A and B are shown apart, each in its own frame.
Chain A
Amino acid sequence: MGAEHAWLLAAIPAGAFVVLALFGRYLARGGDWLGIAAIGTSFALFFVVLADFLGTGSGLGPFAASIDWTRIGDFSFPMGIYVDPITIVMLAVITTVALMVNVFSVGYMKGEPRYWWFFAVLQLFAASMILLVLADNLLLLYISWELVGLCSFLLIGFYWEKRSAVEAAKKAFVTTRIGDVGLLIGIILLWREAGTFNIQEILHLAEEGHFSHTYLLVAMLFIFVGAMGKSAQVPFHVWLPDAMEGPTPVSALIHAATMVVAGVYLVNRMLPAFEVVDETLLVITIVGLVTALLTGFMAFAQTDIKKVLAYSTVGQLGFMFVAAGAGAPEASMFHLMTHAFFKALLFLAAGSVIIGTHHHQDMGELGGLWKKMPITGTTFLVGSLALAGVPPLAGFWSKDEILVVLDKQWGPWAVSLLGFAAVLTAFYTTRLFIRTFLGQPRDAHIAEHTAETPPVMTGPLVFLAVLSIVSGLVVFHEVGTALGFPGGFGEFVFLPTHGPHAYEFDAAFAGGSVVLAVLGIFTASWFYWGGRLDRSTRLAQWQPRLYDMLVNKFYFDELYQAAIDYGVLGFSYVVSWFDRYVVNDTGVDGSAQLTGYTGYILKHLQSGRLPHYAMSLALGVVALAVAGLVMRG
C-alpha cells in the first residue's frame, strides 16, 4: 500500500456513489453513514499515500503509474495517475474539506427531501475531484473536469422546486461550459503537436521548444480560458454568486474549497508550459488582479451572507491566479490550501447561522448572533480574521507570500493593486462579521428562535477553525521538517526550474500586510461598529450612482443579458429567417415545387394514344441511329 494505490482515494467514494445512487433511499438514514465512511477512508488513505510519498526519500521524485486504457491500431492510450507535491496538497485539501462537509451535512440537511441523493452526489463529487488532481493526462483531467461540473450543476439545482435554483444551475453550467470549450480546444491543440495527452510529456516538450512560440501561446491561452471559467474569473465570475442557491455545505465544498480551485490547480500544474510563453503570465496576473479588485467592490453592497462569501471566494481565487502569474506555484498553492480551510469554515459557519436562525441569511435581518451562537460566532471570527489576513492566522502567511513573489516578478504597481484588494477583503469581511454577529438583533422574532446548532455541525467548524489558525505555519522550515516534510511549504511545492524556495521572513512586507488588514478592519469597524448603518447609508447617498453600480455588480449580468438578447437572439433571428425562407421555402419546398411543376408540364407527353407512342419510338430509333452514325464520323 503506497502511492501507487492513490487511485483508491477516488475509487472508494465512486463505489459509495454507485451504492448510494441505486440503494441510498432504502438505507437507514439515507446512507449518510456510508458517505462519511467512504470519504473518511479516503481521508485516512491520504495519510498512507502521504507517508509513502515522503518515505520515498530521495528528492521526492513524483510518482507516476499508468495502464493502457485503449489501443486503436498503433495508437495506444495510457491512463494513469501522477502524484507530486501539488497533488499531495490538493488531496489534503479535498479529503479534509470533503470529510468535514459530509459530517456537517448530516446536521444541515436533516429532514430535507432527497437526503440520500445529496450524499450520493457528494461522493461522486469527491471521487471526480480526486481523480482530477490525480490524472496524469489531459484527457482524464478533462473527463473529471466535466464530472465535477456535473456535480456542481446537480447540487446547485438540488432544490429544483425553486425556480431560482434551476436558473442558477443552468447559468453555472452554461458559463463554465464556455470556459470548458476553451480548455478542450487547448487540449486538442497540445495533443495535435505533441501526439500525447500526458501532462508531464507535454510540459517536457514545451520546455524543449517542440512547439512553435505562437502555437504554444495560443494553446496555453485556451487552457487558461478553461481555468478562468472553472475558477470564475472576470468575466466568467457571474455564475459563482448565483451558485449560492445550492445547499450551504455544497457552497463550502464545491464553490469555495475544491471545484473552483481546479482552474488554479490546472494553471499551477501546467505552469512550466506557461513560463515558456511568458506573455501568458502577464495575462494570468492581470485577470487575477482585475478579479480581485472588482469582486472586492462587489462584495461591498451585498447583504446576503453567502453572496458576500461567494464574491470573496472569486476574489481570493484571483489572488491565487496572481501568484501563479508571478511564476510562484508555491504561493498560489499555499493560498489555495489556507483559503480552502478558512473559506470552507466561513461557509459552514454561514450554514450554521442559516440553520440556527431557521433559514435567514440576510444581514439586514440578522445581528447580535454572537450571544446566541457562541461557537459559530467564534469560528466565524477565526475564519474572518484568517480571510482578512491577520497574523498569525493562515490567510496572513499565504497573502504575504503572494505579495512578496508579486513584487519580485512584476514590481510595485502589481503589489499596490493587490494590496488594495487585500484592504477591500478585510473591509467586507469585517462588515460581514459585525453586521451578522455584533450589535443588536434587527428582527426580534428571528432572534428569539435562534439557537446554537448541534455538535455534528459545530464539530467540523471547530476542526476547520483550528486548521485556519495553524495551517499557515507550515510555511516555516522548522514546522515542515517537524511534520516530516523536507521543509516549509515552498521547499515542498515548487517549480523544478526555480528550485525549492525557503520562506524568509520579510519584516517590511509582513508589516505592510498587517497594515493593510488593519486598515480594512478599522475602516469597516468605523462604519458598522455596533451594527450602525447611518455612516454607510450616508456614503451610499453621497454617490447614489456609484452605489447603484455596486449593488448591481457593475451590471455584468445586465450586460450579458443584453448580449444574449441582442447578440444571440439577433443572430438566432437571422438564422431562423435563413432557415425559414432559404432552406425551407427555397431549398426543401422549392425543389418539391420545381419537381411538381415540371411534372405538370411533362405529363402532357403521355397522351394515351398508341400511334403517338409508336411514333416516338420510331423517331427515337432514327435519332439514335443518326447520332451513332455522326459519332462514328
Chain B
Amino acid sequence: MVSLEHYVALSGILFALGVYAVLARRNAILVLMGIELMLNAVSLNFAAFASYLDPERVTGAVFAVFVITVAAAEVGLALAIVIRLFRLRATSNVDEAAELKW
C-alpha cells in the first residue's frame, strides 16, 4: 500500500533535487530544469493531498493543472531568454551574465 508519507517523501526528495540544481548548476538550461523539478514536486504534493484528504472533490488536482500551465508558460519565456542570451554571448553560463546590477 502506498501511503501519503511515500508521496510526501518523494515530493520532498524531488524538491530538494530541484533546489540543488538551481543553486549548484551554472548552466541556465539546467537551472531551468531544477525549477521544473521543484514545480513538479509541488504538483505531486497537491495531487497526493487532494486524493488523500478529500477524494470526492478535485480542488488539489485543479491546482496541479494550474501549476503545469504556469510551468509551461514559464519555460516558454525562460527558454526564449536563454536563447537570446546564447545569441548575444555565445554562452549559457549564468555567471557570465552578471551585468544587471547597480
Q: A610 at interface (Cβ–Cβ under 8 A)?
A: yes
Q: Quick one: closest A residue to B34, CB to CB?
A: A614
> Bound complex: CA of A606 vs CA of B26, how far in Å?
18
User: Contacts A615-B23, A618-B19: A610 and B99 contacting too (C-beta < 8 A)?
Assistant: no
What's the least CB distance linking A465 to chain B, in Å?
91
- B22 contact set on A, CB distance < 8 A: 614, 618
What's the least CB distance linking A586 to chain B, in Å?
28
Q: Using an 8 Å CB-CB cutoff, how does the interface string of B1-26 with A read, 1 for contact, 0 for none?
A: 00000000000000000010011001
Q: A113 at interface (Cβ–Cβ under 8 A)?
A: no
Q: Using an 8 Å CB-CB cutoff, how does the interface string of A600-613 with B read, 1 for contact, 0 for none?
A: 00011011111100
Q: Assess whether A608 is in contact with B95, with CB atoms less than 8 Å apart.
A: no
> Bound complex: CA of A526 vs CA of B22, how far in Å?
117
Q: Assess whether A609 is in contact with B98, with CB atoms less than 8 Å apart.
A: yes
Q: Assess whether A608 is in contact with B101, with CB atoms less than 8 Å apart.
A: yes
Q: Assess whether A607 is in contact with B101, with CB atoms less than 8 Å apart.
A: yes
How many residues on A have C-beta within 8 angstroms of the other chain's C-beta atoms?
11
- A606 contact set on B, CB distance < 8 A: 101-102
- A615 contact set on B, CB distance < 8 A: 23
Q: Using an 8 Å CB-CB cutoff, how does the interface string of B80-102 with A read, 1 for contact, 0 for none?
A: 00000000000000110111111
User: Contacts A618-B19, A618-B23: A610 and B102 contacting too (C-beta < 8 A)?
Assistant: no
Q: Assess whether B23 is in contact with A611, with CB atoms less than 8 Å apart.
A: yes
Q: Assess whether A611 is in contact with B100, with CB atoms less than 8 Å apart.
A: no
Q: Quick one: closest B residue to A604, CB to CB?
A: B102
Q: Using an 8 Å CB-CB cutoff, how does the interface string of A605-633 with B read, 1 for contact, 0 for none?
A: 01111110011001000000000000000
- B64 contact set on A, CB distance < 8 A: none
Q: B31 at interface (Cβ–Cβ under 8 A)?
A: yes
> Bound complex: CA of A388 vs CA of B48, how far in Å?
115
> Bound complex: CA of A603 vs CA of B101, how far in Å?
9
Q: Assess whether A608 is in contact with B19, with CB atoms less than 8 Å apart.
A: no
Q: Assess whether A607 is in contact with B98, with CB atoms less than 8 Å apart.
A: yes
> Bound complex: CA of A604 vs CA of B101, how far in Å?
9
> Bound complex: CA of A610 vs CA of B95, how far in Å?
7
Q: Assess whether B23 is in contact with A608, with CB atoms less than 8 Å apart.
A: no
What's the least CB distance linking A229 to chain B, in Å?
64
B23-70 interface (Cβ within 8 A of A) = 23, 26, 31
User: Contacts A618-B19, A618-B23: A611 and B102 contacting too (C-beta < 8 A)?
Assistant: no
What's the least CB distance linking A297 to chain B, in Å?
79
- A604 contact set on B, CB distance < 8 A: 102
- A609 contact set on B, CB distance < 8 A: 94-95, 98
> Bound complex: CA of A609 vs CA of B26, how far in Å?
11
Q: Assess whether A608 is in contact with B94, with CB atoms less than 8 Å apart.
A: no
> Bound complex: CA of A610 vs CA of B101, how far in Å?
11
> Bound complex: CA of A618 vs CA of B31, how far in Å?
14
What's the least CB distance linking A131 to chain B, in Å?
70
Q: Assess whether B99 is in contact with A608, with CB atoms less than 8 Å apart.
A: yes
> Bound complex: CA of A604 vs CA of B100, how far in Å?
12
* A residues in contact (CB < 8 Å) with B: 603-604, 606-611, 614-615, 618
Given contacts A606-B102, A608-B98, A611-B94, 5 further A-B contacts (CB under 8 A): A603-B102, A608-B101, A609-B98, A610-B98, A618-B23
* CB pairs A–B below 8 angstroms (27 shown): A604-B102, A606-B101, A606-B102, A607-B98, A607-B101, A608-B98, A608-B99, A608-B100, A608-B101, A609-B94, A609-B95, A609-B98, A610-B31, A610-B94, A610-B95, A610-B98, A611-B23, A611-B26, A611-B94, A611-B95, A614-B22, A614-B23, A614-B31, A615-B23, A618-B19, A618-B22, A618-B23
